[in-house]
Amino acid sequence: MHDAYRLLLERECPSWLYPVTMGATTVWERWDSMLPDGSIDPGEMTSFNHFALGAVVDWIHQVVGGLRPASPGYGRARVEPRPGPGIEWAEISLLTRGGPVTVAWRIPDGELTLEVGLPDGLPADVVLPDGRVVEVAGGGHTFSARLTRRVSRRPRAGARRATRPRRRTPRAPRPR
């Protein structure tokens, strides 16, 4: 997760934020559709509104914002924000068939403050970082929970996560 947040917040090309630093309000087809001097990349494939790389937006919505469907068509919602380094607050909203769902969280002093807004009749499971799962329905709900792990303000430059040794695939027995 730490690496995902580090990649999300990178500003040099290639990265998700490079186009933003160049004034983008959409997802580009190529990381370098606009060059650092502001000129358009002369190569082919230079769309400035391209969904193919948009999967990161879904990740931001579901992981950073914490909102995902718990049943098809948001008949039930799941709210489980996963704060990471470099982001101290987030607010998202989604217009479901039942009405708008809103999620907002902040981290003042190592404690997550979470606000959830649901349309009438829409149930949701709210998963807090301390492990509690709270079932709620329609209306506004506010929660607080201590973070079970420290979320630093910025990822350390050059930080790497520990890797586990690869698990070896067992060999099939040799025929005799």
Burial class (CB in 10 A: 0-12, 13-18, 19+), 140: exposed
State the pLDDT at residue 53: 64
Cβ neighbours around 103 below 10 Å, total: 24
122: phi then psi, degrees, rounded to nearest 5: -95, 115
Whole-angstrom distance, CA of residue 89 vs CA of residue 47? 31
Instruction: Summarize pLDDT for 92-118 with one digit per residue, the tens.
Output: 999 999 999 999 999 988 899 999 999
State the pLDDT at residue 164: 34
Average pLDDT taken over every residue of the chain: 83
Q: Which two tokens stand for residue 143?
A: 């929660």
Q: Is the pLDDT higher at 37 or at 165?
A: 37
pTM for the model: 0.73
State the pLDDT at residue 27: 80
Q: Under 8 Å CB-to-CB from 56, ≥6 apart: which residues?
A: 8, 16, 27
Lowest mean pLDDT segment, chosen from 35-49, 63-77, 124-138: 35-49
Beta bridge partners of 80: none
Percent of the chain with pLDDT over 70: 82
Whole-angstrom distance, CA of residue 92 vs CA of residue 103? 5
Decide if pLDDT at 33 tops 70.
Answer: yes
Instruction: Summarize pLDDT for 130-176 with one digit per residue, the tens.
Output: 999 999 999 999 999 998 765 545 444 443 333 333 333 444 444 55
- At 43, the pLDDT band (50, 70, 90 cuts) reads confident
